Structure 1
Amino acid sequence: MSTSAQSVFRNRMARYYGYFTIGFIAVSLLMLLLEVFAGLPTQLIGWAFLLLTFALYATIGVLSRTKVLDEYYVAGRNVPAVFNGMATGADWMSAASFISMAGTLWLIGYDGLAYIMGWTGGYVLLALLFAPYLRKFGQYTIPDFVGARFGGNTARVVAAICAIIVSLTYVTAQVVGVGIIMQRFVGVDYMIGVILGLSGVLVCSFLGGMKAVTWTQVAQYIILITAYLIPVTALSIQLTGFPLPQLSYGQALQRIQVLEQEQGLSKASESPVVPGKFVTSGYIPPFNEGLSNVAAIDAVRQLNTQFGLNVTPPAAQAIPDANKPELGDWRGTPWNFLALMACLMLGTAGLPHILIRFYTVPSVRESRLSVGWSLFFIFLLYFTAPAYAAFSRWQILENVVGKEISQLPEWTSTWARNGLIVIRDLKVLDGVEVGKEPTWVKNLINAGSVVVEDANGNGRIDLAAWEDAGDGKGRAGEISGSAVTKARVDGILQLNELGRTAGDGIDGDLVVLSTPDIAGLPFTIGALIAAGGLAAALSTADGLLVVIASAVAHDIYFRTINPKASLNTRIVLGKTMIVVAAVIAALLAIPRLALIAQMVAWAFSMAASTFFPVVLLGIFWKRANGAGAIAGMIGGLAVTIFYMANNYLNPAFNVLGISHLGSGIFGLPVAIILIVVVSLLTKEPSKEIQDLVENLRNPITDDEGMTKMIDKMAPAK
């Protein structure tokens, strides 16, 4: 496409999406007015936003359907930089960014900033190290790069398998987000919500591949950023009188500190493990997160609930533990923070579904510009997430914690009815039929922490005033045990009594979704957030499913097994694999193995220890060869998964207090060492490959010469 044609195309698309933005805002305002002045039912509003956005995505998917290979895999290589930046932003800002990042900040405060710093900093690495070189390379997938650069199909297949593992982990997190949103705002079961959401994904990626995905993601970015900014701006005006939440949430942090001190949540205390070491707890002080395996315990409980299993969860383990000083006390040190930030940053630069976005622009110059636009569009959301967390925590500490259960705001009852939160004060047992206790109480009964005695034989649990039963146990009428403390049966909600169905503590994934309810905003604002969260989850899922499908259909089947496969066979196989990958992701999403942000961090750790080192050395070190690349990818991935699995189940397995979220920090150096050592011990790459690297490292010119060089290299075929 000529420069003038590109300009005309860019202007036409800008006009179309400008009309779309105005129309979306107008429809949202109409829904708001109908709710406020005409009493439009909330469930109808939820369905309207769902059907409207899905109809839009389906329309783009149908209009973008294609059987042209370049369009199916790389959107025809004619996406202007600004639109590629928006598509990359949507591809990037998944359910983890939209839903879970503010929730993570809500839960752990300062330490959660590792996500923002890591995810944003990764784009600087992309711009400097990868984007222009990959665009000049000009093929279809990252395993394409590995296969051509390292001269063989074995390296290509290993890269394809790594891409599948990383992308499947990532897409599972998006599916979890879809299920949560559907459950809350449409009122359907979690699994039905997952199926409905994946149906929307398939309409786009199935019909038109990367072409449909790209133009759908542009629309999804507009929806998600609008949905993210409007509610928090309204909340900022409501609480501070200032319309820029990014600049006003300091007031929220000050109020949080006061409330935490009043409620005994913030204090300096001596470490139970290291005498003389003091750690300041609370929301704002940094590096005060201990290690635990609560996520693994929750996952096993989810599996038991969903599938009727009876698997025994791992024994609860937390560090620091005064009874086991040999396990160490890593609170107050920055190692875990730095490891997680590094993994997120390096993983960003190594994610296959982000790297292939730079194949879709018209030129090397546009690839550089698209990274800049991507960073700007991502900045708009990331700069706002801390405000979301601070305002929400302020509201909950002010209006929920410390209140009598009977006087809690209406939104808590709504979310409790939907099974999304649980009020964990034992006062709720008063009058409950014996044997019909809530699941969280049954877990305490099974653990022996609560004993129920129907003393009067009426079949119901009757509570009375709390009394000390001795031996560290309490009694309150017909319940007793170590979990029956005075605070636990007083009918006053404590922060640690806000829980979720299958675990302790409030679910961070609900924070953004619940903000409109917490602030008393109209339901339309909540539905708008739901539409944005769906856009974030679906846009990322689109790109990830295309990566998985192309890894199987293009890299493994066509490039390795059957190079003579017809164009139609390749596209049909690609579409089939999209459906298969979606079904597998739905099954993996059932147990909700961790918070969305945690699952995404796993994907980043794996990408940081596989693709980042192999692409980096593939571009900047001519001596790297196929044997080294294979050893590096396998070794890096193996070490990362080994550390991740062991620390996830047992936090006592750790180095310097680094959790499973930063496990890639151990796989990365192993991958680099293996690539270097094995490459030096084996035959150097051919002259053709070394010439290819020389040409690749001059990304000023475009990729015509590069394509000819790759076409001449038999190993790449």
Structure 2
Amino acid sequence: METQTLIYLFVGASFALYIGIAIWSRAGSTQDFYVAGGGVNPVVNGMATAADWMSAASFLSMAGLIAFMGYDASVYLMGWTGGFVMLALLLAPYLRKFGQYTVPDFIGTRYYSKAARVVAVICLIFISFTYIAGQMRGVGIVFSQFLQVDITMGVIIGMGIVFVYAVMGGMKGITYTQVAQYCVLIFAYMVPAFFISMMLTGNPIPQIGLGSELNDGSGMYVLQKLDNVLVELGFNQYTAGSKSTIDMFCITMALMVGTAGLPHVIVRFFTVPKASDARKSAGWALIFIALLYTTAPAVGAFGMYNFINKTDGTEYAEAESWFTNWEGADLIAWQDKNGDGVMQYRSGDAFEGKPAFTGEDGPWGERLIANPPNPDAANEVYVDRDIMVLANPEIAGLPGWVVALMAAGGLAAALSTAAGLLLVISSSISHDLLKSTFAPEISPKTELLAARIAATAAIVIAGYLGIYPPGWVAQVVAFAFGLAASSLFPAIFMGIFSKSMNREGAIAGMVSGLLFTFAYIAYFKLLEPAANIPENWLFGISPEGIGAIGMLVNFAVAIAVAKMTRPVPPEIRMLVDLIRVPRGAGSAKNH
């Protein structure tokens, strides 16, 4: 059977499965819609959390980052994994014990303030829309490449699928759909890794294969060979870092605390019956996440090794079909600068402003050939790093069914996170703004209707951003984690562990941390991108890591303001004590 036919079958079957689960688990109440009835098994919730957590960024981008950045990309592995551990140990059990539906719900109640709730909603919506625009764009790209439709149609199809199981099913439908999506995405990620590890090293376990000798007769280890080859081509050593220690530390910290403050991940721990189950589901989620995260370094290294072997020194006329396929999607391109008809992959710009790999300025939908070549650089091949995972099976020459499986896995990763983000946006609008702030008299039925309308509107906006991505979506990937780190995380952390933090301090901290981080990233990413060099950074900290400093600003301002304003009411102090009680389960606050 042809590869394209297999892709249609695999993707169609997975979509039918998702829609069927959504219809079966349709939400019938606000509790079903917001927290899946609060009775999800910890193992099931752990798997759903892993799917929610492992977005297109984890599935598609992380191994691509590792492939092209080598050691420097370890900040993403350390930051995202460490952040989830921090969330699981420090926040999740206590938030579940508190017993509310959303993060703004916790902040509004803990800080006895509608203003604090509204500030939290603003932070949440900005973070979520920044995140989801990339997810929907990823859906469009995967569709355009594998299903032979344009990106716009791919986004529209993705919107339709998400609409069914997010709007109809709510958190209940999303939870069980994400279990299926996890199974699809992890199988799609691991199978090619097993194949390629076996082909290159003779060891089918990629984590072990990464540290094994290549079976090409060279007697060299995988990373040793990569180091040598990349240095010969003008790149840095694969295993050597180029970032400063302070920048590495701050980026890792920003990713960690930003992860622990991501609302669509936090809300997953509200769906289990009791606080002890939140800890169990976090443990299971770590196991499920570790399967992909421990495999990503091997996938990145194997992908880079195969990519170099299949491009550098290969005549363009004899290039394999995978190259021309991705070339048609504008995600790889070749410019014959010396007229010899041979592809030459080196360090430097293949086209004006288009290096050997791209960072945040990906060429979505852009015709690279329109950019003039850079005659001063020896490099002739431009490649977008996000194709490495999707193209890996094709580059390695794996069977068509593996390529089809990868297509289904890529879509599952993007759709699972998009659904979780959409639910967070809709619940914050219907529950936190309407029910809890501006229209407390509405009935549960009206609230559920408002949640579905909000989810529908959010899907439309997310789809629009996916079809017509404004510049900031591609340029400020640091926004989501930086803003979560500098705004929501300190308020949640102090709300649990500090009985003396009052509403004035929390609000001042969130606003100051948010404004500081936003201004710093906006300056270097939007206003003066040419100034985005280490010499101009504050303490040598890049925009990707400034969220760590924004977090400190938040803490400092919050503590200072709290000391100068009215103390926390006794009933709130008692509430914090009840959240922290280790024994028993249930909620500190009943609905």
Please give the alpha-carbon distance, in whole angstroms, between the structure 2 residues aligned to 1:341 and 1:635.
Answer: 22
Task: Render the CA deviation track for 1:310-340: whole Å, top value 9, x for unaligned.
Answer: xxxxxxxxxxxxxxxxxxxxx5x22222111
Instruction: Indicate yes or no: 2:573 matched with 1:690.
Output: yes
Which residue number corresponds to residue 528 of structure 1? 405
Please give the alpha-carbon distance, in whole angstroms, between the structure 1 residues aligned to 2:401 and 2:299.
Answer: 18
Contact kept? 1:101, 1:597, Cα under 8 Å: no
Please give the alpha-carbon distance, in whole angstroms, between the structure 2 residues aligned to 1:146 and 1:541.
Answer: 24
Please give the alpha-carbon distance, in whole angstroms, between the structure 1 residues aligned to 2:470 and 2:228.
Answer: 35
Normalising by the residue count of structure 1, what TM-score does the alignment of the two structures yield? 0.74
Please give the alpha-carbon distance, in whole angstroms, between the structure 1 residues aligned to 2:196 and 2:254.
Answer: 33
Measured at CA, do residues 356 and 598 of structure 1 come closer, stay the same or move farther in structure 2, by a change above 3 Å?
farther
TM-fit CA distance, 1:354: 1.1
TM-fit CA distance, 1:265: 2.0
TM-fit CA distance, 1:596: 9.0
Please give the alpha-carbon distance, in whole angstroms, between the structure 1 residues aligned to 2:141 and 2:274.
Answer: 40
Task: Render the CA deviation track for 1:446-482: whole Å, top value 9, x for unaligned.
Answer: xxxxxxxxxxxxxxxxxxxxxxxxxxxxxxxxxxx99
Which residue number corresponds to residue 362 of structure 2? none
Which residue number corresponds to residue 630 of structure 1? 507
> Which amino acid in the other structure matches residue 548 of structure 2?
I
**Aligned to 2:532, which of 624, 640, 651?**
651
Which residue number corresponds to residue 291 of structure 2? 380
> Which amino acid in the other structure matches residue 534 of structure 1?
L
**Aligned to 2:438, which of 532, 553, 561?**
561
Please give the alpha-carbon distance, in whole angstroms, between the structure 1 residues aligned to 2:121 and 2:323.
Answer: 45
**How many aligned residue pairs are there?**
551
Instruction: Indicate yes or no: 2:12 matched with 1:57.
Output: no
Which residue number corresponds to residue 140 of structure 1? 101
> Which amino acid in the other structure matches residue 542 of structure 1?
A
TM-fit CA distance, 1:602: 2.6
Name the SS for the 2:462 alignment partner. Answer: helix
Measured at CA, do residues 696 and 258 of structure 1 come closer, stay the same or move farther in structure 2, by a change above 3 Å?
same
Which residue number corresponds to residue 610 of structure 1? 487
> Which amino acid in the other structure matches residue 553 of structure 2?
V
Name the SS for the 1:361 alignment partner. Answer: coil
Which residue number corresponds to residue 234 of structure 2? 265
Which residue number corresponds to residue 364 of structure 2? none
Which residue number corresponds to residue 97 of structure 1? 58
Please give the alpha-carbon distance, in whole angstroms, between the structure 1 residues aligned to 2:274 and 2:374.
Answer: 64
Trace 1:75-474 onto structure 2 (pairs within 5 A): 75-250=36-211, 251-261=221-231, 263-266=232-235, 281-286=236-241, 288=242, 331=243, 333-426=244-337
Contact kept? 2:107, 2:117, Cα under 8 Å: yes
TM-fit CA distance, 1:603: 0.9
TM-fit CA distance, 1:592: 5.3
TM-fit CA distance, 1:429: 12
Name the SS for the 1:660 alignment partner. Answer: coil
Please give the alpha-carbon distance, in whole angstroms, between the structure 2 residues aligned to 1:589 and 1:401.
Answer: 33
Contact kept? 1:395, 1:518, Cα under 8 Å: yes
Please give the alpha-carbon distance, in whole angstroms, between the structure 1 residues aligned to 2:257 and 2:207.
Answer: 27
Which residue number corresponds to residue 707 of structure 1? 589
Please give the alpha-carbon distance, in whole angstroms, between the structure 1 residues aligned to 2:321 and 2:5.
Answer: 20
Contact kept? 2:130, 2:473, Cα under 8 Å: no
Name the SS for the 2:423 alignment partner. Answer: helix
Measured at CA, do residues 673 and 107 of structure 1 come closer, stay the same or move farther in structure 2, by a change above 3 Å?
same
C-alpha root-mean-square deviation of aligned residues, in Å? 2.2
Task: Render the CA deviation track for 1:208-247: whole Å, top value 9, x for unaligned.
Answer: 2100011111111111100000001101111111100111
Task: Render the CA deviation track for 1:286-332: whole Å, top value 9, x for unaligned.
Answer: 1x1xxxxxxxxxxxxxxxxxxxxxxxxxxxxxxxxxxxxxxxxxx5x
Task: Render the CA deviation track for 1:652-704: whole Å, top value 9, x for unaligned.
Answer: 44123322222212211111112111111111121111110111111322124
TM-fit CA distance, 1:598: 7.6
**Aligned to 1:577, which of 454, 458, 461?**
454
TM-fit CA distance, 1:629: 1.2
Please give the alpha-carbon distance, in whole angstroms, between the structure 2 residues aligned to 1:158 and 1:673.
Answer: 18
Measured at CA, do residues 589 and 543 of structure 1 come closer, stay the same or move farther in structure 2, by a change above 3 Å?
same
Contact kept? 1:81, 1:373, Cα under 8 Å: yes
Identity of aligned residues (%): 44
Contact kept? 2:29, 2:448, Cα under 8 Å: no
Please give the alpha-carbon distance, in whole angstroms, between the structure 2 residues aligned to 1:688 and 1:136.
Answer: 17
> Which amino acid in the other structure matches residue 223 of structure 2?
L
TM-fit CA distance, 1:65: 1.0
TM-fit CA distance, 1:533: 1.1
Which residue number corresponds to residue 216 of structure 2? none
Which residue number corresponds to residue 419 of structure 2? 542
Trace 1:663-682 onto structure 2 (pairs within 5 A): 663-682=546-565
> Which amino acid in the other structure matches residue 431 of structure 2?
H
Task: Render the CA deviation track for 1:617-641: whole Å, top value 9, x for unaligned.
Answer: 1111111111111111111111111
Please give the alpha-carbon distance, in whole angstroms, between the structure 1 residues aligned to 2:312 and 2:496.
Answer: 54
TM-fit CA distance, 1:180: 1.4
Which residue number corresponds to residue 66 of structure 1? 27
Please give the alpha-carbon distance, in whole angstroms, between the structure 1 residues aligned to 2:302 and 2:52.
Answer: 27
Please give the alpha-carbon distance, in whole angstroms, between the structure 2 residues aligned to 1:594 and 1:283.
Answer: 30
Measured at CA, do residues 511 and 47 of structure 1 come closer, stay the same or move farther in structure 2, by a change above 3 Å?
same
Please give the alpha-carbon distance, in whole angstroms, between the structure 2 residues aligned to 1:135 and 1:237.
Answer: 44
Please give the alpha-carbon distance, in whole angstroms, between the structure 1 residues aligned to 2:333 and 2:123.
Answer: 39
Name the SS for the 1:339 alignment partner. Answer: helix
Measured at CA, do residues 409 and 428 of structure 1 come closer, stay the same or move farther in structure 2, by a change above 3 Å?
farther
Please give the alpha-carbon distance, in whole angstroms, between the structure 2 residues aligned to 1:356 and 1:282.
Answer: 41
TM-fit CA distance, 1:147: 1.0
> Which amino acid in the other structure matches residue 8 of structure 2?
W
Please give the alpha-carbon distance, in whole angstroms, between the structure 1 residues aligned to 2:256 and 2:200.
Answer: 34
Contact kept? 1:231, 1:525, Cα under 8 Å: yes
Contact kept? 1:90, 1:536, Cα under 8 Å: yes
Contact kept? 1:100, 1:595, Cα under 8 Å: no
Uncovered stretches (5+) of structure 1, i.e. residues with no partner: 1-39, 267-280, 289-330, 431-439, 445-480, 489-495, 500-505, 712-717
Measured at CA, do residues 389 and 368 of structure 1 come closer, stay the same or move farther in structure 2, by a change above 3 Å?
same
TM-fit CA distance, 1:399: 2.4
Task: Render the CA deviation track for 1:43-64: whole Å, top value 9, x for unaligned.
Answer: 2222222211111111111111
> Which amino acid in the other structure matches residue 77 of structure 1?
G
Please give the alpha-carbon distance, in whole angstroms, between the structure 2 residues aligned to 1:536 and 1:124.
Answer: 21
> Which amino acid in the other structure matches residue 520 of structure 1?
G
Please give the alpha-carbon distance, in whole angstroms, between the structure 1 residues aligned to 2:425 and 2:52.
Answer: 15
Please give the alpha-carbon distance, in whole angstroms, between the structure 1 residues aligned to 2:445 and 2:75.
Answer: 45
Please give the alpha-carbon distance, in whole angstroms, between the structure 2 residues aligned to 1:482 and 1:587.
Answer: 32
> Which amino acid in the other structure matches residue 218 of structure 1?
V
TM-fit CA distance, 1:381: 0.2
Name the SS for the 1:422 alignment partner. Answer: strand
Task: Render the CA deviation track for 1:116-135: whole Å, top value 9, x for unaligned.
Answer: 11111112212321111111
> Which amino acid in the other structure matches residue 444 of structure 2?
L
Please give the alpha-carbon distance, in whole angstroms, between the structure 2 residues aligned to 1:428 and 1:67.
Answer: 66
Contact kept? 1:508, 1:595, Cα under 8 Å: no
Structure showing greater radius of gyration is 1
Measured at CA, do residues 601 and 88 of structure 1 come closer, stay the same or move farther in structure 2, by a change above 3 Å?
farther
Contact kept? 1:174, 1:596, Cα under 8 Å: no
TM-fit CA distance, 1:358: 1.1
